[in-house]
Structure 1
Amino acid sequence: MDEPDRWRNMASAPRDGSRILVTVRPTEQGPAEVDMAYWSRADQHGEEGWRSSDSQPGRVVEYADPELKCWMPLP
């Protein structure tokens, strides 16, 4: 990948299950932050979508597309 240290539009984020850094938009629940996430296909724990990489079965942190602003490959 060219320019690995630059933030990119979420539309270009890999949806192959690889872990990436994402920026999470600020909400009423908290300020903007950076998290490590991956694209997950639908399974018994939910529908396909972005999940926090530290999610565990039964305690899944999912992000809706509008919650994520941009992404970057892991350093």
Structure 2
Amino acid sequence: MIHKLFTSPINLVVKVGEKVQEEAEKELYDLEQIQRKLVHLEMMYELDEISEEAYAKKENELMIRYEIAKKREMDEWYE
């Protein structure tokens, strides 16, 4: 009984941490989310809301994330 009193809070923290990590990875590596961000970024650039330099930097970051996400998807597909 006492063992549960001490381990339950730790288990809860671990589960919350796992959920946060899962949501962060989903945000970072969700293909549809990345595609939407790329479209939004392009629209901002075309409307002169951001500079060419800012556009290129952000586009590069998103494309790297896209490549990682695509590789993860392919790895999951083959497993």
Relative to its length, the structure with more strand (as a share) is 1
Larger radius of gyration: 2
Relative to its length, the structure with more helix (as a share) is 2
Sort the TM-score into its range (normalised by shorter chain): under 0.3
- Whose RCO is larger (CA < 8 A, sep 6+)? 1
TM-score by length of 2: 0.23
